Structure 1
Amino acid sequence: MSFTTVMRRRGVSATGPSASFSRAIQTVARCRPEYTLPSRRLGGAPDAGASRCRRVRYPRPHGGPIGVCGIAGFQGPPAPEILDALSASMRHRGPDDHGAVTDGWASIASRRLSIVDLEHGHQPMSTADGRLHIAYNGEVYNFRELREELRGRGATFATESDTEVVLKAYELDGRSAFRRFNGMFALALLDLRSERPELVLARDHFGIKPLYHARVGDRVFFSSEVKSLLSVPGFRARPNEQRLYEYLRWSLHDHDEATFFEGVRSVEPATCLTVRDDGEEVHRYWEPRLSEDGDPSPERFRELFRRAVERRLVADVRVGTCLSGGLDSSSIVCMIAALIREHSPDAASVGEHLETFSAVFPGDPIDERPWIDAVLEASGARGNFVAPDSAEFVRELGDLVWSLDEPVVSSGPYAQWCVMRLAHGRVKVLLDGQGGDELLGGYVPYRFVYLRQLLRQRRFGRLAREGLGRQELRMLAQRFLPRPGRASMNPVRYLRAAFVDGKAAPRDERVTDDLKKRLLLDLTTYSLPSLLRYEDRNSMAHSIEARPPLLDLELVEHALSLPADALMHRGRSRVIFREAMRGLLPALVLRRRTKTGFTTPEMRWLERERASMTGILRSPSFLTRPYWDGAAIADAFEAACEGRMEQSLFFWRVLNTELWLRVFIDRSPATASVRPGRDWESIGDEMAVALAGSVAAATALAGPAPPGRHRFIADGNGRILARSPLDGGPEQMAATLVDGDVVVVAAAAGIDVERLRAAVPDGVTVAILAEPGGSISQPSIESGGGASSRTGLAAVLAAAMADDPMHGAEHHAALRVREVGRLPRPVAAERERRAAGKVEPPGSPA
């Protein structure tokens, strides 16, 4: 019986003297060319029972973890061109080397980012008889101990690598060997030792390294990234609507094996998937065990943490660290500084100075520079800083969405993306604090879970001593105190009924009155898996290997055995960690109670980039998606920007989904497998042309676009409008106009408006934009010309200027607006009803 099943069956409702307080805190708490290997045993003649493999890389002596960072392959008939395409699609994960093994039954490939033993360490690796092959991504940090144990059982080794240890351990013990590997790994084993060949796919205990699989035709494919599957002939990228629903409605993702791509599943953490001719078998090799009988002394925790950090410094390349200023990353930096002072041999990988990498936000409430500076002063490390900004964020949105593979819960991963980009070229390995909050209770909502636990246990004295800090009180106030004049945001109102119908509500087993159980669920299901995906994709996008010491298996199993009171005490979280680091961490960090981490000032950025975001929300592609009421969402976003509606991460979720659909679903497989850059706007424009279905739209697509904006936008009456910059004198502009066009002229551009009005054909409207870059929702416009009284002109002008398309008016003094088609009737009709006031406008205070 799984642990989650046990918890579900043993759920206990809280009791206590304050039911209303209980309900309140319950709410807040919820890798060179390939070599040919003949089919023969080493030292003997060809043997009919030997491997059928035709291509393999010869293993060469090396010492230590290899650091291969991408694997792929398939079970099924040989197809070298497909295998090459799969490998090439992951070059960013392993730019230093690559290799492959091809058999008549299956094929495996690897991409290498060289971390240890730079001259050797090629993969895949094979046993001497050529019957067992491994493509392996990651490190097993206890490989030396395991190697000695295996030698005692008669195993012999030709190399000093952890890869060979993993291969020999599986050769002797099968899948039960995975349980003893302390590290991070995703691997593929091609086992040809019997008449029933097997392809075994496995991931580490916590899913630090990714692995996905999908059946396409008569083959089962696997890869470190979903996007590489786009190179497979016959694979059609389609959205998984159930997962979209769980994300849009409930903000859930990465909580089970499903992905946003229909038919693609992940190999779950602590799990191996065995593929045979007769089907697939899933085996879970490890289950976490909760107890409260562990040693609660800070000394024992510090010993395990020190060992975990030291193990992750093993490398033949430069190692650095991420530093956010929080407890976890700061502790890693200070522990490395201690190891340097103690002349630990493994600490030599950091070089003369430990390099740290941080994101800062000068002048913003989330900026953590004071804590970072305190850590740098205490440790002697050298800090490197990047200051992400909203304009850069918009420019890089397409590449960010592509790199992350699937939508994310917030824009926060962009800060981590910037840190990894900053570190690229300076270090190849970064340690960070991932997992510490879920392991030891670092997030603010965990305080409420613990308080409810004390209520349930009727430990009222302890409850009274705990109290609530400013951050906890602020969270309660934001959740429960009304905000006059602001309408509430309920995602359900904005999802189409036809999309919601038939979708199952996700099973949410997060408990609200048992701290240890809640932490375990977030560690294994609801929080950490998504964070590990963000970190893997962000680091690999910049060819960097990320290592999280706090997910060391020994350390995790120890933490799971600690009593809850060792984690929370007198309003402080992660107490045992703080006490363990006393004397190493600066007092400013040791006493810190607020929590920020790698994040961004999300809503402030969305408001600052309101024009670009509005362009997405009012684009024909967004408005015609079957998942949401696009017009209502666009109106709600404007209301939130103006303070008439509460801010919500739902806006990010729909924006992220729209861009994900453009990057992966709307593009052809050939283009979807490469970074889009800023093309996410042109992808939306191409969809608008398809929706309009007119020659005029196709012609507009071939012309220039407003700088940094979509060409097409839709108005309140369902009209698809094409915007094109105009240059030259009045007569030159007039020569490009036809009946029904609208020309918007920037008053400050110095164009002779009277000459333009005299030159334009009848039926063309000339409108003057008095303040370029001014109000977006209600620009100051004066209109004139032959079509000034045309019905709906106001709607056309409002829509055409909604995303401030003349923000580059210093380059283009005038803009042509032309109707090129209409939205599909159901969408247009809904917009017309809303424009007529027959639908309650979002942002109206309840």
Structure 2
Amino acid sequence: MCGIAAYRGLEADEALLERLLATHPEAGPAATVTDGDAGLGVREGRPVRTSASPEDADRVGGVGDATGSDGGRGGDVARLAVAPGGRFTLALDGELYNRAELRGDLETLGHDFGVGSDAEVALAAFTEWGTDGLDRLDGAFAVVVWDRDTRRMTLARDPFGVRPLYIARAGEGWLVASEIGGILGSGLHERRPDDRTIYRYLRFRVHDDGPATFFAGIERVGAGEVVTLGADLPGGIERHPYSRLREELTALARSPRAYTPAAATEFRALLTDSVRRRSSSSGRVGTALSGGLDSAAIASLVDVVEREAGGSDEQDTWSAVYPASRIDEQAQVEAVTASLGSRVDAHRFEPTPSEFKKDMRDLVRTQEEPLGSTGSYTQYRVLQEAAQRDAVVLDGLGGDELLGGFGAHHLIHLRGLKGRSAALAASELGRSLDVLVRRGRPHVGDRLRGRKSVAVTSLLGADFARAHAGEAHEAERTDLRKRLVDDLFVDSLPSRLRSTDKNARRFGVSVRLPFVDRELARFVFGLDDAALIKDGLGKRVLRDAMRGLLPDSVVERRDKVGSTTPQADWFMRLKNHIYGEFLSESFANRPYFDQTAVLHAFEGWIKGTNSVDSMTIWRILNVELWLQEFFDERAPEADDVVEHVKSDYEPNARKQLDLVTADGTAVRRYPLRTDLYAREDDLEAKTLGYIDRFFAGLTDAGPEHDAATGGRWYFFISEKIVAITQGRSFFIWDIKVGRPARLLSRYVTRTPAGIGLGSPFTMQLAIEEAGLPRVLFASAGGAVGKVLGKRGLFYDLVGGDIRAIDGPTEYSVYPANVSAKLGPKDPDDVAARLSAAIRARVPEAYRDTFGGTVVMDANDIGRNVLGKDAPGSKERYELMFADNPLGQGSEQTPMAVVFETPSA
């Protein structure tokens, strides 16, 4: 994807510009300019699906050279332009919608143009009017301007901040890039998370509401802001707004004009013009169609514009649908596309939770910072599909923030009416009861079901929460226009614009937003509130404007869905995967979370016993995945690794077949790979199949095994699969954890090999197995033993096979990664029954040398024989597993055939 980058106050380095721009594996070539301690660069995006016509080439061009020439393209734009005389150089990421008009104005002032690209026009405006010229640009853009004479660098974004731009200190200099990944990859910025931003995100669900990002020291240039970098400035930087759009909208709202049917007609003309300017492209144009009013209006007006122009091309519409989900909008999508008839090529697809799980890490990587919800995944998939055909996709983003489309806007409207007229408020309330009841039903349901309220702060690490306890965030609750301004510039739209830009860059598509338009915003804010909300529904002026163009079922729709995912349903389907992340060692060691509290809250959410919502779960999960992606050293993902399936006659990775024990016994251990065991499996029958396979293939395994397999042998089996087939393994959401278990588990030391009783789930099993009094007695004794330097006293005092209780671990395969289990019941008897079955089945040559079965609890730091029918002491067999040759994660080797071999 295209982008721009720059540095200031650093040694000339074209390679640095390349690193700042190298954020996409399929990015095109870079064009760079260096001048002493400053440099600018642009990178071309991926080629679009259709070639540009000559007359359209400079409208949607790619990387330009130093004279501003363009290549023909139909997607995103990134260009360099140099002013006559060479004083100013400009790098532009984005596009101008008023280029032709602005070029005409500048030509009357004596400016000459080459091809007249967007970058050339933007640079001429800057050289003519300075930073005031930026306010004359109508478009979605980020620019960097280098002034050779003053040695200053100017950075700016469009008034809404559609295109991103990031800055960071690098020693005495500065780094600038369209994407955070460029700064991280520069090698000149220390990678650290910003704890305050993380807290505000987790606590208040706010992000992208100021200059700070989730990365300490990396800031965003604000919407409509100018940032100047120069050695002569205090601190080397100066920031101030160049756009007064926010103030203009606030002023317009103070003296609005009455809403009339004529206003709807005027609004439709303005929106149609906005669509027209954004649908001009040399490549194919599509529409993201969710079924909601905003996207439906865009699709309909694209068709109007095409017909007015006399065109005959079909419009592509791209829709994600979720059949059988309460958020599914397939019926509305079909109604809209049916109204467009043969002039639309409708594409529908159904994202699934399995696909979301597969794409989750790429989504996190693509977004660079955490997201408020998984809703961005719908757009991610829409653009992934659209990228195969379309260079440009129009999206209805921004309609909610501009026209009062969120549920909160209706409540604020009611409060405002109450302050002006109780009668008006009562009338509006009466006509919108169905909408209010629908929105309030989940909260009422929580109360009626007695679901426990869980404060987000209770899920955070105590020190982390304490350090940021002074943070606050209060959204506007009584003034609708103030709230809309905040949503446009601070609380809502900035985060959604960021998400949209990242998804667009990921798939090489230009996303254009007709509702994010200055003239449209000025018009709307000049109307009174009656243009926005009526009878519990927002966007009145849009509804009125689209009557006759859209089906009534869409225009009059009273349930709002929006472009989202069935998040709660998906999380329930993916609960095993989410549990695995929350149980991971990395999550447990984060300063941001209280792992036990999070697990308890997640368990309650699954069971429906608390009021924790899927948004809270997502924020916690998203932070963890983001930290893993950008800060942890991670092994290659499974899709990137070609797995070697181990035979029965070779060791597990980083293990060995042969061992000489401490008592001098030489053994060869053959770990057997198996399928997963389940509660309903017959332990003996299934296990015998793997033993049969081993001996059937031993002859052909090679002569190097002949001598090693001639002596006495034993069968070792993991206690885990014995317990599973006995029904003594439990999904952790099925374990009813009591307060004592939660308290006691906090004081158990965890090891890298497992959490033991350090989980409230395993501690609960211990209490149920041994009884609470005995566990309390053993806990007290264990605490005394720690003071005296004696470890393991708890297990000696509690008795039984409590040591064999095992909890979920991240490295285990499903279902062990989300299960806790008791030790096997009657393990000596299990061993004896297995041995009898083995003697009846193995080849005669190996029958007389079979020594018996051992039920073993082994990991990489300890071994414990729980049951056996083999002769000799338990310690003898524990020595044979001193290095634990088994593996119950991806290895899936929970059993072994072990031969005593002649000593070397």
Is the structural similarity TM-score above 0.5? Answer: yes
Tell which deviates more after alignment, 793-802 or 158-167: 793-802
Change (3 A) 1:762 1:302: closer
- 1:530 equivalent to 2:530? Answer no
Structure 2 match to 1:167: 123
Question: How far is the alpha carbon of 1:761 from its aligned partner?
Answer: 5.2
The residue identity in structure 1 corresponding to 2:218 is V
- 1:74 equivalent to 2:23? Answer no
Structure 2 match to 1:340: 306
Change (3 A) 1:745 1:101: same
Structure 2 match to 1:54: none
Alignment of 1:361-372 (within 5 A): 361-372=322-333
Alignment of 1:739-818 (within 5 A): 747=681, 750-752=685-687, 759-760=714-715, 767-770=722-725, 776-777=731-732, 789-796=800-807, 803-805=814-816, 818=858
Give per-residue Cα distances to partners, 1:373-408, cap 9 Å, x unaligned.
011011232211121111111111111100000000
Structure 2 match to 1:200: 154
Change (3 A) 1:527 1:820: farther
Secondary structure (helix, strand or coil) at the match of 2:163 reads: coil
The residue identity in structure 2 corresponding to 1:379 is L
- 1:409 equivalent to 2:372? Answer yes
User: Is the contact made by 1:397 and 1:678 (CA closer than 8 Å) also made in structure 2?
Assistant: no
Pick from 538, 552, 556: which aligns with 1:591?
556
Change (3 A) 1:817 1:236: farther
Alignment of 1:203-242 (within 5 A): 203-242=157-196
Change (3 A) 1:448 1:701: farther
Give per-residue Cα distances to partners, 1:705-744, cap 9 Å, x unaligned.
xxxxxxxxxxxxxxxxxxxxxxxxxxx996449xxxxx96
The residue identity in structure 1 corresponding to 2:214 is F
Question: How far is the alpha carbon of 1:506 from its aligned partner?
Answer: 4.3
Pick from 299, 321, 329: which aligns with 1:360?
321
Question: How far is the alpha carbon of 1:791 from its aligned partner?
Answer: 2.5
Secondary structure (helix, strand or coil) at the match of 1:185 reads: strand
Secondary structure (helix, strand or coil) at the match of 2:629 reads: helix
User: Is the contact made by 1:769 and 1:779 (CA closer than 8 Å) also made in structure 2?
Assistant: no
- 1:615 equivalent to 2:615? Answer no
Change (3 A) 1:639 1:678: farther
Structure 2 Cα separation of the partners of residues 800 and 533 of structure 1: 34
Pick from 455, 475, 500: which aligns with 2:439?
475
Structure 1 Cα separation of the partners of residues 730 and 641 of structure 2: 22
Structure 2 match to 1:321: 287
Structure 1 Cα separation of the partners of residues 221 and 306 of structure 2: 38
User: Is the contact made by 1:90 and 1:228 (CA closer than 8 Å) also made in structure 2?
Assistant: no
Alignment of 1:638-677 (within 5 A): 638-648=603-613, 649-667=615-633
Structure 2 match to 1:838: none
The residue identity in structure 1 corresponding to 2:157 is R
Question: How far is the alpha carbon of 1:234 from its aligned partner?
Answer: 3.2
Question: How far is the alpha carbon of 1:181 from its aligned partner?
Answer: 1.3
Structure 2 Cα separation of the partners of residues 436 and 456 of structure 1: 26
Structure 1 match to 2:415: 452
User: Is the contact made by 2:289 and 2:319 (CA closer than 8 Å) also made in structure 1?
Assistant: yes
Question: How far is the alpha carbon of 1:562 from its aligned partner?
Answer: 1.6
User: Is the contact made by 1:82 and 1:231 (CA closer than 8 Å) also made in structure 2?
Assistant: no
Structure 1 match to 2:485: 520
Give per-residue Cα distances to partners, 1:491-522, cap 9 Å, x unaligned.
11111221122326445352211111111111
Structure 1 match to 2:843: none
Q: CA RMSD in A?
A: 3.4
Structure 2 Cα separation of the partners of residues 394 and 262 of structure 1: 28
Structure 2 Cα separation of the partners of residues 565 and 768 of structure 1: 67
User: Is the contact made by 1:453 and 1:514 (CA closer than 8 Å) also made in structure 2?
Assistant: yes
Secondary structure (helix, strand or coil) at the match of 1:355 reads: strand
User: Is the contact made by 1:776 and 1:801 (CA closer than 8 Å) also made in structure 2?
Assistant: no
Pick from 598, 618, 624: which aligns with 2:589?
624
Structure 1 Cα separation of the partners of residues 466 and 356 of structure 2: 35
Question: How far is the alpha carbon of 1:647 from its aligned partner?
Answer: 3.9
Change (3 A) 1:733 1:439: farther
Gaps of 5+ in 1: 1-30, 32-68, 683-698, 705-731, 738-742, 808-814, 823-846
Tell which deviates more after alignment, 757-766 or 416-425: 757-766
Give per-residue Cα distances to partners, 1:781-813, cap 9 Å, x unaligned.
99xxxx995323223479987951589xxxxxx
Structure 1 Cα separation of the partners of residues 570 and 559 of structure 2: 22
- 1:85 equivalent to 2:19? Answer yes
Secondary structure (helix, strand or coil) at the match of 1:473 reads: helix
User: Is the contact made by 2:318 and 2:382 (CA closer than 8 Å) also made in structure 1?
Assistant: yes
Structure 2 Cα separation of the partners of residues 326 and 438 of structure 1: 14
Structure 1 Cα separation of the partners of residues 383 and 185 of structure 2: 26
Question: How far is the alpha carbon of 1:762 from its aligned partner?
Answer: 9.8
The residue identity in structure 1 corresponding to 2:438 is R
Give per-residue Cα distances to partners, 1:441-485, cap 9 Å, x unaligned.
011121111000001112423541443243321322433550424
Structure 1 Cα separation of the partners of residues 214 and 346 of structure 2: 37
Secondary structure (helix, strand or coil) at the match of 1:261 reads: coil
Change (3 A) 1:701 1:430: farther
Question: How far is the alpha carbon of 1:771 from its aligned partner?
Answer: 9.4
Question: How far is the alpha carbon of 1:770 from its aligned partner?
Answer: 3.3
Structure 2 Cα separation of the partners of residues 578 and 283 of structure 1: 38
Change (3 A) 1:471 1:218: same
Task: Please give the TM-score of this superposition, normalised by the length of structure 1.
Answer: 0.75
- Greater relative contact order (Cα < 8 A, sep 6+): 1
Pick from 264, 268, 278: which aligns with 1:312?
278
Question: How far is the alpha carbon of 1:681 from its aligned partner?
Answer: 12
Change (3 A) 1:354 1:469: farther
Question: How far is the alpha carbon of 1:652 from its aligned partner?
Answer: 0.9
Question: How far is the alpha carbon of 1:121 from its aligned partner?
Answer: 1.7
The residue identity in structure 1 corresponding to 2:42 is S
User: Is the contact made by 2:12 and 2:34 (CA closer than 8 Å) also made in structure 1?
Assistant: yes
Structure 1 Cα separation of the partners of residues 327 and 509 of structure 2: 26
Change (3 A) 1:772 1:399: farther
Question: How far is the alpha carbon of 1:701 from its aligned partner?
Answer: 8.3
Structure 2 Cα separation of the partners of residues 763 and 306 of structure 1: 69
Structure 1 match to 2:355: 392
Alignment of 1:461-472 (within 5 A): 461-467=424-430, 468-472=432-436
Change (3 A) 1:175 1:405: same
Change (3 A) 1:513 1:819: same
User: Is the contact made by 1:734 and 1:761 (CA closer than 8 Å) also made in structure 2?
Assistant: no
Structure 1 match to 2:41: 109
The residue identity in structure 1 corresponding to 2:390 is V
Structure 2 Cα separation of the partners of residues 183 and 797 of structure 1: 53
Alignment of 1:664-743 (within 5 A): 664-667=630-633, 735-736=670-671
User: Is the contact made by 1:398 and 1:680 (CA closer than 8 Å) also made in structure 2?
Assistant: no
Change (3 A) 1:462 1:640: closer
Structure 1 match to 2:32: 100
Count of residues paired in the alignment: 682
Task: Please give the TM-score of this superposition, normalised by the length of structure 2.
Answer: 0.70
Change (3 A) 1:317 1:294: farther
Tell which deviates more after alignment, 570-579 or 198-207: 570-579
Structure 1 match to 2:227: 273
Structure 1 match to 2:459: 494
Change (3 A) 1:772 1:225: farther
Alignment of 1:127-206 (within 5 A): 127-192=83-148, 194=149, 196-206=150-160
Structure 1 match to 2:70: 121
Structure 1 match to 2:393: 430
Structure 2 match to 1:282: 239
Gaps of 5+ in 2: 49-55, 63-68, 72-78, 643-650, 657-666, 693-712, 736-761, 766-795, 819-854, 863-904
User: Is the contact made by 2:375 and 2:565 (CA closer than 8 Å) also made in structure 1?
Assistant: yes
The residue identity in structure 1 corresponding to 2:114 is A
Question: How far is the alpha carbon of 1:581 from its aligned partner?
Answer: 1.3
